[in-house]
């Protein structure tokens, strides 16, 4: 059913976040969806029983308790982990993530930049520039620098294909076996993970955050990579044991890391990552979905609820992504 065919009664959608002012964030989309989705607040007098959908990001622990008839909750990003982790999320509520090809393209550009930064040894050149040292250190082709990618969803697939097109030998790891595109070698399961790590000088983390993947970037995993490897961490901060990264950098097991996500965001001014010579960091800004994509997801979810069907980009709650 298209939006124009949708029943004239707008769908009540509540905004659930303890970290973002969603009304401010979604401003233009709220105006755009007006008449089809009505955004309501916890205390604006709306009868909570009339609320069937939510848009959320790090909701309060009891957020869902207030809405007995809520059946779908949309994230404002590709990851829906902060909603899935909410203790009051009931069985039967569909959790919907935003899927947008432009986000995969943006992430790919980010990962490529950092992979080449390591391949072309830019960290050393930047340090030498600061120290006014003229020294050629030699270069390697992309074919000489194998890259492993943890996670092979829509974003991982785009990143893998783009790196392979540049000549990097690419290995990807996913929980279960998946067909891969040209130039991309697939691995899965526990044995597959070890084999993939052993052949990956650069490791890119694009996993969803689940009970199984929390803390996956730890000392034991770093030890399975070739010595002098490089980490590009663009998943979630909770994937990584931060002290284990510092130890791996100190021992030389890892030569460096590009970090975009952190256990506590914003990163505190005292955090050792800020001034670490072998860490490049960015403030959870590797890529983003557009607000238009968030708006489209909200509208499609409202339409699915009106039609009594499952929203298109609902995650598999038993898998956690």
Residues marked active site are found at 236, 284
What letter would DSSP give residue 238? G
Instruction: Determine, following the binding rule CB under 6 A, whether residue 84 of this chain makes contact with ligand GLV.
Output: no
Both tokens assigned to 22: 């969603």
Tell me whether residue 201 or residue 313 sits nearer to ligand GLV (CB atom).
313
In this structure, are residues 181 and 160 in contact, taking their beta carbons and an 8 Å threshold? yes
Minimum Å gap between C-beta 260 and ligand GLV is: 9
Per CB under 6 A, which region of 76-84, 225-233, 245-253, 311-319 contacts ligand GLV? 76-84
Minimum Å gap between C-beta 103 and ligand GLV is: 7
Instruction: Determine, following the binding rule CB under 6 A, whether residue 153 of this chain makes contact with ligand GLV.
Output: no
CA 307 to chain CA centroid, Å, is 30
Instruction: Determine, following the binding rule CB under 6 A, whether residue 109 of this chain makes contact with ligand GLV.
Output: no
Both tokens assigned to 106: 């943006």
Instruction: Determine, following the binding rule CB under 6 A, whether residue 289 of this chain makes contact with ligand GLV.
Output: yes
CA 126 to chain CA centroid, Å, is 29
Per CB under 6 A, which region of 14-22, 45-53, 77-85, 275-283 contacts ligand GLV? 77-85
Minimum Å gap between C-beta 82 and ligand GLV is: 9
Instruction: Determine, following the binding rule CB under 6 A, whether residue 96 of this chain makes contact with ligand GLV.
Output: no
Instruction: Determine, following the binding rule CB under 6 A, whether residue 115 of this chain makes contact with ligand GLV.
Output: no
Instruction: Determine, following the binding rule CB under 6 A, whether residue 169 of this chain makes contact with ligand GLV.
Output: no
SS (H, E, C) 22-49: HHHHCHHHHHHHCCCEEEECCCCCCCHH
Element (H, E) at 164: helix 154-165
In this structure, are residues 257 and 281 in contact, taking their beta carbons and an 8 Å threshold? no
Per CB under 6 A, which region of 47-55, 72-80, 106-114, 310-318 contacts ligand GLV? 72-80
DSSP characters for 277-320?
Answer: TTEEE-SS-S----HHHHHHHHHHHHHHHHHTS--TTB--TTTT
258-287: contacts with ligand GLV (CB under 6 A): none
Tell me whether residue 6 or residue 159 sits nearer to ligand GLV (CB atom).
159
Tell me whether residue 245 or residue 261 sits nearer to ligand GLV (CB atom).
261
Distances from the Cα of 38 to the Cαs of 8, 27, 51, 129, 267, in angstroms?
12, 12, 10, 55, 35
Tell me whether residue 204 or residue 289 sits nearer to ligand GLV (CB atom).
289
Cα three-residue angle 45-60-321, rounded to 5 degrees: 115
Instruction: Determine, following the binding rule CB under 6 A, whether residue 320 of this chain makes contact with ligand GLV.
Output: no
Minimum Å gap between C-beta 77 and ligand GLV is: 3
**Residue 71 backbone class (left: φ over 0; alpha: ψ -120 to 50; beta: rest):** alpha
Per CB under 6 A, which region of 40-48, 75-83, 137-145, 170-178 contacts ligand GLV? 75-83
Q: Footprint of ligand GLV on this chain (CB under 6 A)? A: 77-79, 289
């Amino acid at each position: 059913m298209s939006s124009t065919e949708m029943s004239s009664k707008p769908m009540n959608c509540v905004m659930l976040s303890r970290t973002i002012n969603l009304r401010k964030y979604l401003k233009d989309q709220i105006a755009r969806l007006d008449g089809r989705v009505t955004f309501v607040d916890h205390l604006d007098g709306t009868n909570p029983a009339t609320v069937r959908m939510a848009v959320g990001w790090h909701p309060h622990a009891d957020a869902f308790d207030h809405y007995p008839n809520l059946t779908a909750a949309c994230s404002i990003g590709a990851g829906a982990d902060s909603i899935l982790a909410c203790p009051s999320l009931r069985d039967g509520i569909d959790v919907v993530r935003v899927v947008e090809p432009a986000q995969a393209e943006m992430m790919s550009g980010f990962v490529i930049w950092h992979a080449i930064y390591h391949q072309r040894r830019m960290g050393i050149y930047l340090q030498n520039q600061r120290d006014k040292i003229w020294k050629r250190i030699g270069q390697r082709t992309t074919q000489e620098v194998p890259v492993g990618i943890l996670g092979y969803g829509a974003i991982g697939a785009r990143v893998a294909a783009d790196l392979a097109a540049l000549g990097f030998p690419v290995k990807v790891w996913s929980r279960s076996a998946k067909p891969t595109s040209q130039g991309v070698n697939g691995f899965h399961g526990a044995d597959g993970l070890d084999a993939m790590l052993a052949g990956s000088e650069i490791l890119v983390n694009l996993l969803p955050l689940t009970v199984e993947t929390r803390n996956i970037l730890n000392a034991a995993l770093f030890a399975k990579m070739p010595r002098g490897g490089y980490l590009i961490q663009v998943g979630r901060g909770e994937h990584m044991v931060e002290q284990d990264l510092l130890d791996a950098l100190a021992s030389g097991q890892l030569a460096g890391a590009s970090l975009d996500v952190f256990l506590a965001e914003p990163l505190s001014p005292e955090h050792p990552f800020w001034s670490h010579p072998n860490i490049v960091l960015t403030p959870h800004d590797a890529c983003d979905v557009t607000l238009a994509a968030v708006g489209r997801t909200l509208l499609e979810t409202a339409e699915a609820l009106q039609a009594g069907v499952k929203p298109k980009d609902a995650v598999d709650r038993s898998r956690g992504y």
